[in-house]
Chains A and B, each alone.
Chain A
Amino acid sequence: MFYREAGDFSTTYPQDSQTFPIKFDRYRYYVVLAIAFLVLPFVMNDYWANAVFVPFLIYSIAAIGLNILTGYCGQVSLGTGGFMAVGAYSCYKLMTAFPEVSILIHVMLAGGITAAVVTLFGLPSLRIKGFYLAVATLAAQFFLVWLFNKVPWFYNYSASGQISAPERSVFGIVVTGPNTEAWAKYLVCLIFVTICAVIARNLTRGTIGRTWMAIRDMDIAAEIIGVNPLKAKLTAFMVSGFFVGIAGALFFAVYLGAAEVGESFGIDKSFLVLFMIIIGGLGSIFGSFAGAAFMVLLPVLLKNIFVGGLGWPTDLAAHLNFIVAGGLIIMFLILEPHGLAQLWRLAKEKLRLWPFPH
């Protein structure tokens, strides 16, 4: 009844091409932002921040990054874990080498370094396609993890081989290290997520996003109509790498505090982020958020039900988690190959006709 374009007139071109053409959506977006920025930081406690919100926000950035590469440009990557490790380790090196520079700049720089590394590993994508490329990105995953394990320079020759984030603050508020308040962690991640999502959304609906999608749909045809595959593929790798790098840096510096590369950035991290975008929806920014929320909440929920509610042992809950996650992925692929984002789109279509569907 209230969810439709009727009566909402666009009088300028920017208005005509805005992200949320329906007034209700626009207000909903502002309300969500307002709640996220103005309400949640005040009610945040340690459990909610560490178990749900901070991982959700960080994985959202990683999922947006992978979604740009896989969902928009069609290049399947199984190297996300390794690329996140690049972000984490470059952030660590920068933090320890230049302690006086703001951590926010370090995180951005870590994103830039990761973008360069990912672009390098994206070069073979010009020759190799499909599965072959997916397997080739595994080379990046294993090589990077091995590199960060074996070259002591990366972890500053620490005896344990771990990296741990020193205490850094922004405007006098501690954001990394063990003394960080829950709301500070949350707010830092939230700011990065908001900026990344806005950038990603606007990139994907512009010229560059269209060239990515043309490459995804059929690269030879795209080449014939004048899309430069070199440029399109490498920019996709670069932008994706930037987001994944930021996610990795935040994951290490803000969320974990201390990390060991094989443990925190192993192959299962690559699959986790891949699952997020499959369940959320390939080629959708909203889908990246939905998928990240789903995959973060699922284990928490199952653990609360089985361990908290029924009193089963934790290892049993972990096994059931595998079963449920795997089963859900198969179910989604069968019932709705375009993920939660497509369900959302369908719901919106229905809502526009409601309450008179005929």
Chain B
Amino acid sequence: MPDQLLFAIEVTLNGLMAGVLYALVALGFVLIFKASGIFNYAQGVMALFAALTLVGIMEGQVPFSHLINAIFGTDIHHFGWHVPALLAILMTMAVMVLFAWLVQRFIFRHLVNQEPIILFMATIGLAYFLEGVGDLMWGSDIKTLDIGLPQGASLWVEDNTAWLGGEGFFGFFIDRLDIAATIVAIILVAVLIAFSQYTKQGRALRAVADDHQAALSVGISLNFIWVLVWSIAGFVALVAGIMWGAKSGVQFSLSLIALKALPVLMLGGFTSIPGAIVGGLIIGVGEKLFEFFIGPMVGGATENWFAYVLALLFLVFRPQGLFGEKIIERV
């Protein structure tokens, strides 16, 4: 096979892996949007916050140590213990559930029946708030997250694909972390689908997503469902935070993946879980291939905007996205 084609295939494979990571973030958006009609801009910051909390707990950092030191003139920073990864993940999950409850109790309960755009702006406010809290709690320096996921290029894939090309081709370069992320994402989606199909809470959740008032009338507690769905979104954010954090370090730029997830959503439709996944894959592959073929001609770094422009062009022809419900407007 010609080298150019092989490289294109490699780029496509890497794009697929990146797309899975985008889809992970987009999933959190879709879940909340379906269940409560809130377009949660804070999803990316939630991922950052979850990752920060996980690292903080694992390293035994003292929360708010900067603030405490500034007020009392002390010099504390660590408890001096290390928490094993699994326990730390569980503890972080508990924090995210608490966060979900707080958000529901103190923000969105007071905003029921407001226009969607007001809710959207409230989540932007929430994103800023949470970012500040995260930095204040755990400090804003870049942290490394290591919970024992495999890292580095997969030699197995390289060895087994080297025969495809001729001289100078050493097989496809695929990061093992990406493979792990893909597997985790598949498991996550399977669990979510099983949860929403076969459990009582999952069914209640789908009922709320379908029709709030009808769900209320058969005795489903909206408050509980909303806390539940924010907790699930927190869990998805934690998974996304772990994957992105392990890939590129836990830092502020992690919260910007929320912005990357937006075109994914637009492409897939705001209300569709398969849409989030397919959209993620299309965006991931599309931006990598575009950067590979067109990027060198226009100066590179096209990944910054390609996804948005693609989504924009797509929407002009199909305003509800790939799998979204058809928008019907009445006066």
Contacts and interface: CB of A to CB of B under 8 A. Distances in A.
A132 B305 contact: no
A99 interface: no
Nearest to A310: B70
Contacts of A195: none
Contacts of B124: 271, 274-275, 329
Nearest to B265: A135
B117 interface: yes
Contacts of A100: none
Given A319-B132, A322-B135, A329-B128, A145 B329 contact: no
B121 to A, nearest CB: 5
Interface stretch (B55-63, B108-116, B154-162, B230-238): B108-116
A138 B265 CA distance: 13
Contacts of B331: 218, 220-221, 224
Contact of B299 (A136, A151, A278, A324): A151
Interface string B125-140: 1111111110110001
B244 interface: no
Interface in A308-338: 310, 312-313, 315-316, 319-330, 333-334, 337
B308 A333 contact: no
Given A323-B136, A326-B127, A333-B121, A150 B301 contact: yes
Contacts of B259: 138, 267
Contacts of B114: 333, 337
B298 A124 contact: no
A134 B266 CA distance: 11
A130 interface: yes
A329 B122 contact: yes
A115 B311 CA distance: 23
A76 interface: yes
B200 interface: no
A27 B66 CA distance: 50
B88 interface: no
A146 interface: yes
Contacts of B120: 131, 134
Interface residues of A, number: 49
B110 A334 contact: yes
Looking at A135, A220, A325, which has the most chain B CB atoms within 10 Å of its CB?
A: A135
B136 A319 contact: yes
A310 B128 CA distance: 24
Nearest to A145: B304
Contacts of B130: 326
A139 B128 contact: no
A128 B263 CA distance: 13
B298 to A, nearest CB: 7
A127 interface: yes
Interface residues of B, number: 50
A316 B120 CA distance: 27
Main DSSP-derived SS at the B contact region: helix
A323 B110 CA distance: 19
B270 interface: yes
A145 B110 CA distance: 37
B319 interface: yes
Contacts of A221: 331
Given A138-B262, A151-B299, A319-B135, A330 B129 contact: yes
B107 interface: yes
Nearest to A268: B128
A29 interface: no
A136 B308 contact: yes
Interface string A322-358: 1111111110011001000000000000000000000
Contacts of A157: none
B129 A135 contact: no
A138 B67 CA distance: 35
Nearest to A222: B331
B301 A146 contact: yes
- Among A139, A151, A310, A329: residue with most chain B CB under 10 A: A139
A328 B116 CA distance: 19
Contact of B298 (A150, A310, A321, A334): A150
A131 B125 contact: no
A265 B133 CA distance: 25
B129 A143 contact: no
Contacts of B262: 135, 138
Contact of A139 (B127, B265, B309): B309
B330 A220 contact: yes
B65 to A, nearest CB: 11
A142 interface: yes
A129 interface: yes
Contacts of B299: 150-151
Given A271-B124, A274-B124, A128 B315 contact: yes
B276 to A, nearest CB: 14
Contacts of B315: 124, 127-128, 132, 136
Question: Which of B107, B130, B135 neighbours the largest number of chain A CB atoms within 10 Å of its CB?
Answer: B135
Interface in A115-168: 124, 127-132, 134-136, 138-139, 142-143, 145-146, 149-151
Contacts of B70: 310, 312-313, 316
Given A131-B39, A139-B311, A142-B308, A323 B129 contact: yes
Contacts of A330: 107, 122, 125-126, 129
Contacts of B140: 315, 319
B115 to A, nearest CB: 9
B311 A322 contact: no
Contact of B319 (A127, A139, A322, A323): A127
B215 interface: no
Nearest to A223: B331
B312 interface: yes
9 contacts: A132-B319, A135-B262, A145-B304, A218-B331, A323-B136, A326-B126, A329-B122, A330-B122, A330-B125
Interface of B: 39, 66-67, 70, 107, 110-111, 114, 116-118, 120-122, 124-133, 135-136, 140, 259, 262-263, 265-266, 270, 298-302, 304-305, 308-309, 311-312, 315-316, 319, 329-331
Identify the 7 closest CB pairs spanning chains A and B, nearest first: A322-B132, A326-B129, A326-B128, A329-B125, A139-B308, A323-B132, A142-B305
